[in-house]
Amino acid sequence: MLRQRILTAIVLLAIVAAAVTAPSPWPMLALLGLMTGCALWEWLRLVIDGAAVRWGGAVLAVFTLVLFSRLLVDGQPALETAFGFYVLPLAVLFWLTLAPAAVVQARIPDACRPGVLVLAGVLVLAAAWYALAWVFLRHGAAALISLWALIWAADIAAYFTGRSLGRHKLAPRVSPGKTLEGAAGGILAATIWLIATALWWPGSFGALLLARIGWAGLVLAGVALAAWSILGDLFESLLKRRAGVKDSSQLLPGHGGVYDRIDAVLPVAPAAALLLLTGL
């Protein structure tokens, strides 16, 4: 299992490196579109029955994102207005209200019928796709990579801090393995990463954010984004527990599904893009 996990990680890193360093933005946009389509298929597997509906939704999503990518590359103001003023804020509102409420209650509310969960998945995945694509196209590869690395830093630090120091459960009915100590370690690591990149990595997400909101805002943003990354992980655990599965799929050998790899990205990316857009 470990060998398979390492091999998959190497292949994924090679694909991402090739997309990031390509002279054209299209390899990265294609990768983001494929990633989003796969994650939507997995989300639908967790919330509704019917293979045809799930596959149809995923394929439609990929084709739609290809069109949106073209519009984004062309700088179409209508697309940027729709996402910047409506989709991103609605996704952030979801992660501020409904998602934490569900995690605290350790269950998906009864009012959230499968159709509602489908719409929620479309919303948060579309927002994350746009946020990542927009950061990449408007601010460059350094901004995208450093933002993603912030999420990785939080995840890795939370895991190792939790293993070595974890005593108090964070959400035992949702994800018994997560601890308060692990969460604190993840938040600290992500905040340190954001500060370090702001100081020493020109063009990084941290440097861009520092220019907009200052040092106090940067530290607060690091804490909030890291906490949200943990929320994204917990919410996916809730969906998987509801569906009675361990992983969202087996698309990535040794790693589970695509959604398992980007669950923390879904709440963080839209919030990060809004911070760069508005400086709030």
For residue 222, what pLDDT is reported?
97
Q: Which one, of 40, 18, 36, lies nearest residue 27 by Cα?
A: 18
Percentage with pLDDT > 70 across the chain = 98
Residue 136 pLDDT exceeds 90: yes
For residue 279, what pLDDT is reported?
62
Residue 130 pLDDT exceeds 90: yes
Residue 160 pLDDT exceeds 70: yes
Which CA distances in Å does 280 have to 103, 125, 218? 26, 23, 11
Quick: pLDDT tens for 91-119.
999 999 999 999 999 887 766 678 889 99
pTM (2 d.p.): 0.95
Contacts of 255 (CB under 8 A, 6+ apart): 5, 8, 9, 261
For residue 182, what pLDDT is reported?
96
* Range with lowest mean pLDDT among 3-7, 30-34, 35-39, 115-119: 3-7
Q: Are strands 169-171 and 175-179 parallel, antiparallel or unpaired?
A: antiparallel
| Residue 135: burial class (beta carbons within 10 Å; 0-12, 13-18, 19+) | buried
Residue entry with tokens 């029955």? 49
pLDDT band at 269 (very low <50, low <70, confident <90, very high): very high
Residue pair 46/240 in contact (Cβ under 8 Å)? The answer is yes
pLDDT band at 1 (very low <50, low <70, confident <90, very high): low
Residue 227 pLDDT exceeds 90: yes
Residue pair 215/190 in contact (Cβ under 8 Å)? The answer is no
Quick: pLDDT tens for 42-73.
999 999 888 777 888 888 998 999 999 999 99
Residue 184 pLDDT exceeds 90: yes
Mean pLDDT, rounded, for 1-23: 84
Q: Terminus-to-terminus CA distance in the chain, angstroms?
A: 44
d(CA 112, CA 279): 33
d(CA 149, CA 43): 24
Contacts of 58 (CB under 8 A, 6+ apart): 37, 38, 40, 41, 44
Residue 2 pLDDT exceeds 80: no
Q: What is the CA radius of gyration of the chain?
A: 18
For residue 278, what pLDDT is reported?
84
H or E stretch covering 246: none
Averaged confidence pLDDT in the chain: 92
CA dihedral in degrees (172, 174, 175, 180; nearest 10)? -50
Q: Which one, of 48, 69, 184, lies nearest residue 122 by Cα?
A: 48
Residue 153 pLDDT exceeds 60: yes
Quote the tokens at residue 156: 């890795």
d(CA 53, CA 141): 35
Residue pair 261/252 in contact (Cβ under 8 Å)? The answer is yes
For residue 6, what pLDDT is reported?
80
